[in-house]
Amino acid sequence: MKWLRSYVESRLRRGISARALGPNEARVLYDATVTFCAGLIALALDAAFIRHIGPDMRLLAATIALVPLVSATSLALGIYGRLRFAAGARKAAVLAVAVTIAAAGAALISGDVPFAFLWLAIASGPITVARLLLGIAQAARRSSLAVAANDRGPVLVIGGAGYIGSHAVERLLASGHTVRVLDRLMYGRSSLDDFMTNPRFSFIEGDAADISRLTEAMRGASAVVHLAGLVGDPACAVDADFTRHTNIVVTRMVRAIAQSMGVRRFIFSSSCSVYGTSDQPVDELSALNPVSLYAQTKIDSERELLTNVPDDFFITILRFATVFGHSRRPRFDLVGNLFVAQAIEDGLITVIGPEQWRPFIHVSDLGRAIVETVDADPLLVQSQIFNVGDERLNTTILELAKAVQRVAGEVRPVEISITDDPLDKRNYAVSFAKIQRTLDFRAKTLLEDGIRELIENHRHGAYAHYREEAYSNVAMTRRALERFHDPDELSRIYAPLAR
Ligand SMILES: NC(=O)c1ccc[n+]([C@@H]2O[C@H](COP(=O)([O-])OP(=O)(O)OC[C@H]3O[C@@H](n4cnc5c(N)ncnc54)[C@H](O)[C@@H]3O)[C@@H](O)[C@H]2O)c1
């Protein structure tokens, strides 16, 4: 019964109400209804014109058995899976085979071959012709989209200049993709310097809320990886309206433009913060328990994205674990990076909430997870939520501090100070079984290796002091906020093609 619970919960999570039907559910229901009604008609005709007696138990059993027979053969032949996107004629042909096999089954069960033929004659028309007609309607819709649809176009990374984005860009380029970045450069452009001379890389500077920039960036793209937004609890607490605008409204716009321009793959960066606090390890089906506006915006965005998803649009939600590690856009508000910076600069790690559990993942592994999702079989990841991390990196904040102390201790003496009662209440250990099972994803960089790499970068002067304003999400959010409240800026970004 676990599958039933997980099915119902994932439907509810996607915002599909109990009364609404998903596309596949509608197909199965239609086929079952036609099968059963055709069975009753065949039964009546058989009784009236062939046997001249009422139906017997074997005929009734065959009529009922036809429904699971048709469903099972259609399922086995891929009608509700890989053939969902096939041309109408192909689906009709495969369905004709499925109903013929079901009719043979009905003949065996009933021992009445004329009944099975009657049923086949009545049911095959509505079942196969419906697919042919739907195929014609869909082909017309697709041909209007095909102007923009381009499965070989660049991967658009929105927020590609960021901490995770710059790793995703590096990995995508390394795996042969052409990459386009749209970013408003809240933290500068130097994170993109290494890519600028690559002929497979292009950059558009701008706000994803600027519909003309967004449209320009989306043109001809094969996939969009949406990483842009206000990140972390303190930055999101600066101004709730700005946060909802940047994290939810912009996400809605990105989806709408992607869908209308035929960009069929959409990968969204959510966060394991949606789990908030939990005494039990959590997985993708666990209750959500946000303890900040940041986490709530991720939940709202996930719901926006997973509602009313058409068959030919492939949205995947990646709930990232807490990230750590070196990046071209350094972040020191992340607990792992902060501890290393404190250890190297101050010789003192300040631990708040030592017993809190948190899942960690190295930023380069996240870049890899993004590429693996972009390259995955679309049906495998369609409308799926994946926690992205590795159970080997689930640890408490105190254990993390001790690991940093151990590695940094090779360079200088490091103390740990401990305070309880943290402002940040998050506490969760996470299961990553689903992404491991589905995409064979496991971390390649474990905690100590990532810590060592950060220490090396500190020692080689890769970073300014970790308290510099340039690294502060809160300071940069305040700057961006000034522009958000400027009426000229607002009328500009919401004026389509009015540049
Ligand atoms: N770093 C983590 O621990 C972590 C964990 C879970 C989820 N995430 C999510 O991953 C995504 C990326 O995080 P990050 O750490 O790389 O953040 P980041 O702040 O380093 O990068 C975000 C990038 O998006 C850009 N941006 C912001 N708003 C924009 C807009 N409206 N239009 C265009 N560009 C815009 C910024 O300029 C920046 O370059 C975010 O959605 C974040 O919530 C991060």
In a domain, residue 201? The reply is yes
- Among 237, 394, 392, residue whose Cα is nearest residue 322: 394
Mean pLDDT of the 4-30 span = 70
Mean pLDDT of the 118-141 span = 81
Higher pLDDT, 213 or 427: 213
Q: What angle do CA 341, 343, 344 make, to 5 degrees?
A: 65
Mean pLDDT of the 95-105 span = 93
> Are both 40 and 72 inside the same structural domain?
yes
Structure tokens at 29: 């229901």
246 lines ligand 1 (CB under 6 A): yes
165 lines ligand 1 (CB under 6 A): yes
186 lines ligand 1 (CB under 6 A): yes
Task: State the pLDDT at residue 309.
Answer: 85
In a domain, residue 498? The reply is no
> Are both 73 and 191 inside the same structural domain?
no
Mean pLDDT of the 346-357 span = 92
> Are both 250 and 122 inside the same structural domain?
no
162 lines ligand 1 (CB under 6 A): yes
Instruction: Give nearest CA residue, ligand 1 atom 11.
Output: 227
Instruction: Give nearest CA residue, ligand 1 atom 29.
Output: 228
> Are both 483 and 383 inside the same structural domain?
yes
Buried b (16+ CB within 10 A) or exposed e, 406-430: ebbeeeeebebeeeeeeebebbbbb
The whole model's pTM is what? 0.80
Q: Rounded CA gap, 434 and 419, in Å?
A: 35
Q: Which atom of ligand 1 is least distant from the CA of 159?
A: 24
Query: How far, in Å, from the CA of 148 to the mean position of ligand 1?
Result: 27
- Among 326, 230, 331, 218, residue whose Cα is nearest residue 273: 230
Task: State the pLDDT at residue 25.
Answer: 82
Half-sphere exposure of 372 (CA within 13 A, CB side): 17
pLDDT per position as a tens digit, 400-419: 999 999 999 999 999 999 98
493 has pLDDT over 70: no
252 has pLDDT over 50: yes
CA distances from 359 to 172, 245, 271, 272, 457 (A): 25, 28, 11, 8, 23
Domain closes at, from 145, 178, 210: 145
> Are both 297 and 391 inside the same structural domain?
yes
Tokens 């986490």 appear where? 295
149 has pLDDT over 60: no
295 lines ligand 1 (CB under 6 A): no
Instruction: Give nearest CA residue, ligand 1 atom 7.
Output: 271
Query: How far, in Å, from the CA of 304 to the mean position of ligand 1?
Result: 18
Under 8 Å between Cβ of 344 and 458 = yes
- For residue 441, the one-letter residue type is F
Q: Rounded CA gap, 30 and 153, in Å?
A: 37
Query: How far, in Å, from the CA of 489 to the mean position of ligand 1?
Result: 21
**Widest Cα–Cα separation across the chain:** 98
- Among 456, 374, 447, 369, residue whose Cα is nearest residue 411: 456
Query: How far, in Å, from the CA of 317 to the mean position of ligand 1?
Result: 15
Query: What is the share, in percent, of the chain residues with pLDDT greater than 70?
Result: 89
> Are both 128 and 224 inside the same structural domain?
no
Domain closes at, from 112, 145, 178: 145
Task: State the pLDDT at residue 217.
Answer: 97
Domain closes at, from 145, 167, 188: 145
250 lines ligand 1 (CB under 6 A): yes
Within 8 A by CB and 6+ apart from 19, the residues are none
Q: Name the domain count of the chain.
A: 2
271 lines ligand 1 (CB under 6 A): yes
Radius of gyration of the chain (CA): 28
322 lines ligand 1 (CB under 6 A): yes
Q: In what order do the strands lie in the sheet with 223-226?
A: 201-205, 179-183, 155-158, 223-226, 265-271, 314-320, 384-388
pLDDT per position as a tens digit, 274-330: 998 888 889 998 889 898 999 999 999 999 999 888 878 999 999 999 999 999 999
Query: How far, in Å, from the CA of 133 to the mean position of ligand 1?
Result: 44
- Categorize the per-residue pLDDT at 498 as very low, low, confident or very high, splitting at 50, 70 and 90: very low
- Indicate the SS3 state at residue 282: strand
Query: How far, in Å, from the CA of 77 to the mean position of ligand 1?
Result: 42
Structure tokens at 115: 């009944």
Within 8 A by CB and 6+ apart from 174, the residues are none
> Are both 87 and 183 inside the same structural domain?
no
Task: State the pLDDT at residue 10.
Answer: 64
323 lines ligand 1 (CB under 6 A): yes
Task: State the pLDDT at residue 138.
Answer: 64
32 bridge partner residues = none
Mean pLDDT of the 143-166 span = 78
Q: Which atom of ligand 1 is least distant from the CA of 226?
A: 41
Under 8 Å between Cβ of 217 and 204 = yes
> Are both 137 and 161 inside the same structural domain?
no
> Are both 214 and 329 inside the same structural domain?
yes
Quote the domain boundaries for residue 92: 2-145
Query: How far, in Å, from the CA of 273 to the mean position of ligand 1?
Result: 14
pLDDT per position as a tens digit, 412-468: 999 999 987 767 777 888 999 999 999 999 999 999 999 999 999 999 999 999 999
Query: How far, in Å, from the CA of 227 to the mean position of ligand 1?
Result: 5
Tell me the average pLDDT of the chain. 89
Query: How far, in Å, from the CA of 230 to the mean position of ligand 1?
Result: 6
